[in-house]
Amino acid sequence: MLSMLTASLSKQHGVEISDKWIFALADNNTHLNCDKECVGFSDFYGDGDYKLIIADKGAGKYNMYLKVYKGVTFIGESVLVDLPTGILSFSSESQSQAHDPVVPSVAVATGTSVLIFKNLKPFYKYTLPALEPNPDEVKAWQKFNGGQITPDQLHIILTKIKEQIGMGDLSPRSQNYLVIPESDREHFLAQFRDKPVTRPQTITAITALKRSSSDLETADTFVIATENGNIYIVDPYAYHVLEHVVVPTAPVFLLSNGAYDVEYRIAIVTRDSEVYIMKRGIVSNKPVISMRSDIVSVCMVKKQLVLACNDCSVSFYSLKGKLYNRMKMDQPIVCLEPFFYTPRQYSGVFVVHAKEIKLYTEMNMVDSIRTQNTIKWIKYGKFGREEGGLVIGFLGGGLAMSTFRRTANLEETSRAKQMSVSNQPGRSAYVPKKTKIYVDHTIRERDMAVKMHQIYQRDLFMLKLDTARTYANLVNKPAVETVTAKTHDSLEFTVDVNGFGPEFILRASVQSKLPMDPSISRSLVYQYDSKIYSVPESLICLPPLIHGKTYRFSNKVKVLQPEAFQSQDIRVLLVEKGAPMALAIAVVTMPISELPMFD
């Protein structure tokens, strides 16, 4: 009944959802102007209720605000002084350091600075270090300010410098002067007369990186990319640069994985559709991934880079640049968004088209959402008090919100599609998904890895010690005592015991120094306690003994109850038919049996 009501409500707002989602709210009159990079979720007040935070671009120069929504209800805003390029929520203190809940901060990248907000109030403004301008460019502006050259001569000199070093290495003042119409040059020069030439860095992308653990709610650092190809990792405590690397071209997307103090990877996607990987403060010399088409959107799912290109393809790569798989879509791709639902260990990727959102898990489409309005961006994550909240932003500025149903089952849909694909000729067999028991065991082993390794090392050491002791006892302690009658000293008779139990082998050796006599009949007789041991052949008949030849006979001895740890001597007698006494007697001191390794 609830599914029918939510489906009916969603259709009234132009959104068709499946039974895996609960349609929550919608508002077509928010009039928002923002990109996917300027939308996020934040536990704004530290109460566990995640709010929607949006850096609204307004009209491009005016009406730019940081806005906060609870559902679709507007609850607050703060003015932005420059065009925003990215937004993120980060924690500047560890939750373990204080009993009070940690209130995250919001960082908004605008122009050349990062604005830090706490409780929707401006807290700090971090400005990136400026670059040194070109010396020839500085001299040209100094000569103009001194009246040594005219505006036309300044334009010619800057044009020559641009041809030598490129447009991107000029200061913003020189770049603007070279592109503005000739009629506006006089007014432009009057604004900057007698002012020093500076070369600030414009921020193109920003993302967060965990400091000490990628799983816990620990303090974050944020990673900043600039138009000049500089990548900075900034400490949120003192706002100083921890790492700085340079890539050849301007970055447009940043993705992070891991923790700064442990092990981390940062994927840097540039305008040339190339991907560089940064780790331990070092960036790869050449791109690990080069795409033939322009990259329109990226995301990271389980340490896999997912790239969407304008040729309608979605590619899955490892962080080392290995191609795992590639899908071809039937329509252009607007953006990508990672999907994860921790309570049921679901993960996948949203592929967003103009009027449709497709959810893929393990290369199988398990769900789709259709809309009547054109989609501009989507954002998925913790929203409100729900683990899975999906916010859809439309081209006209409207919003629609849905939550992932807690009882939704994606495994059955994925398994059915995998089975249908695997039944086709030439397809590999279906591999079942990891079960919850397996996931719980892996989590336990990961959390207790050090203790498990210590126990393993201790048991291995004790095993080696017991083995060495047993071997020393077998070598140093005589296990066989042989008594031979004086009248038959010409017979050599020995018995050895081999094995650790519960099965032993008794090896008897007999050699005669007398001429062979076929009329003499000799035998080996085993005397033992039948309550402790079992011997399948208690009597072995010997052939006629040839002079000087050694005869060897083996017999198995099985311990009936090895867990009792009992042992008793076994007597082996060499007897001759018609003789009043045994020719030789060997008393074997049996060792204590080890427990069986397999039942």
pLDDT tens, residue order, the chain (599 aa): 445 545 555 666 678 888 889 888 888 888 888 889 999 998 878 788 899 999 998 876 778 899 999 888 888 889 998 899 999 988 876 554 445 567 788 999 998 899 999 888 888 899 888 888 888 888 988 888 888 888 888 888 989 988 888 887 888 888 888 888 888 888 888 888 888 888 888 999 999 988 877 655 556 888 999 998 999 999 888 888 899 999 998 999 999 988 888 889 999 999 999 999 998 888 988 999 999 999 999 999 988 999 999 999 999 999 888 998 999 999 999 999 999 988 888 889 999 999 999 999 888 889 999 999 899 999 999 988 888 899 999 988 888 999 998 888 887 665 555 545 444 555 555 566 677 788 888 888 888 999 999 999 999 999 999 988 888 876 665 544 444 444 456 788 888 888 877 888 888 888 888 888 787 888 888 888 888 888 888 888 888 888 888 888 888 888 888 888 888 888 888 888 888 888 888 888 888 888 776 55
Count Cα neighbours of 366 within 13 Å in the Cβ-side half-sphere: 24
- Taking the alpha carbons at both ends of the chain, their separation in whole angstroms is 56
Classify residue 114 as exposed, middle or buried by CB count within 10 Å of its CB (0-12, 13-18, 19+). buried
Give buried/exposed letters for 188-209 (b at 16+ CB in 10 A, else e): ebeeeeeeebebbbbbbbbbbb
* Distance of alpha carbon 417 from alpha carbon 358, whole angstroms: 15
Strand locations in 34-104 (E): 39-42, 51-56, 65-70, 73-79, 84-90
Interacting residues of 113 by C-beta distance below 8 A, sequence separation 6+: 82, 125, 126, 127, 128, 203
Please, which residues bridge with residue 27 across strands? 399
Interacting residues of 96 by C-beta distance below 8 A, sequence separation 6+: none
Interacting residues of 290 by C-beta distance below 8 A, sequence separation 6+: 273, 274, 275
Q: What is the CA radius of gyration of the chain?
A: 40
Q: Is the peptide bond before 84 cis (omega within 30 degrees of 0)?
A: no
- Return the ∠ at Cα 59 (arms to 54 and 63), rounded to 5°: 65
* Distance of alpha carbon 516 from alpha carbon 53, whole angstroms: 105
Domain ranges in the chain?
A: 1-30+331-417, 135-192, 434-479, 485-589
Q: How far is CA 209 from CA 44, 119, 265, 404, in A?
A: 19, 22, 9, 26
Q: How far is CA 212 from CA 260, 263, 264, 446, 526, in A?
A: 6, 9, 10, 16, 70
Q: How many residues does the chain have?
A: 599
C-alpha torsion sign, points 362, 218, 109, 400: positive
Q: Which of 187, 195, 159 is nearest to 175 (CA)?
A: 159
Give buried/exposed letters for 119-151 (b at 16+ CB in 10 A, else e): ebeeeeebebeeeebbeebeebbeebbeeebee
Tell me the pTM: 0.66
Count Cα neighbours of 278 within 13 Å in the Cβ-side half-sphere: 25
Cβ atoms of residues 242 and 253 within 8 Å? no
* Distance of alpha carbon 109 from alpha carbon 377, whole angstroms: 19
* Distance of alpha carbon 336 from alpha carbon 242, whole angstroms: 30
Main-chain phi, psi angles of 82, to 5 degrees = -145, 170
* Distance of alpha carbon 171 from alpha carbon 139, whole angstroms: 13
Cβ atoms of residues 130 and 199 within 8 Å? yes
* Distance of alpha carbon 353 from alpha carbon 70, whole angstroms: 26
Q: Which of 474, 509, 482 is nearest to 591 (CA)?
A: 474
* Distance of alpha carbon 339 from alpha carbon 296, whole angstroms: 18
Per-residue confidence (pLDDT) for residue 460, from 0 to 100: 92
- Return the ∠ at Cα 201 (arms to 199 and 207), rounded to 5°: 170
Which CATH fold topology does 485-589 show? Answer: Immunoglobulin-like (2.60.40)
* Distance of alpha carbon 481 from alpha carbon 475, whole angstroms: 14
- Return the ∠ at Cα 306 (arms to 303 and 310), rounded to 5°: 165
* H or E, element range at 71: none
Per-residue confidence (pLDDT) for residue 6, from 0 to 100: 57
* H or E, element range at 452: helix 449-476
